[in-house]
Amino acid sequence: MRTLVISDIHANIDALIAIEEPCDSVICLGDIVDYGPDPIACIDYLRKLDVPLIRVRGNHDNAVAFRVDCACDGAFKHLSTLTREYMWQVLDRDRIDWTGRPETSATLDLDNRKGRATQGRHCDSHLRYDAPETGDAELDTGLKL
């Protein structure tokens, strides 16, 4: 079984359709929307996949769906704030609801291999980023940074 894992599409349909890997299922680790110009096309593309789709809600999906801050920081936060307004203008209620529907993590059982899918830390899911210097013990236990 071949599973394609995608993440952080950020409304970039060109990047999404450029993936030409054959697969039996897709795991989407969130952030389908925000930043990019084509949220409708990205959502519709994923909804129409002819293979099973497992997805989790990323921080930008959460921000668009529930009209809250994305909890990101750094150089791109102001862009997220601006593009979120655009997302609310172009997305209909059905697509916004679909974006916010999945949980922030999912239990996986693929070919008898178990795991957990999240966009961020498993302790608080989509709202925490790990840095390269984050230690193994912290990753394993989900302790706060």
Q: Structural domains in the chain? A: 3-141 (3.60.21.10)
DSSP-derived pairing of the beta strands 53-55 and 105-110: unpaired
For residue 114, what are the β-bridge partners? Answer: 109
The pLDDT of residue 126 is above 70 = no
The pLDDT of residue 139 is above 70 = no
Nearest-10 crossing angle of helices 77-90, 59-66: 50
Residue 124's pLDDT is 52
Placement of tokens 């291999």 in the chain: 113
Window from 60-69, 88-97, 109-118 with minimum mean pLDDT: 109-118
> Widest CA span of the chain, in angstroms?
43
The reported pTM is 0.85
DSSP-derived pairing of the beta strands 113-118 and 3-6: unpaired
Residue 145's pLDDT is 30
Residue 138's pLDDT is 64
Nearest-10 crossing angle of helices 39-47, 77-90: 70
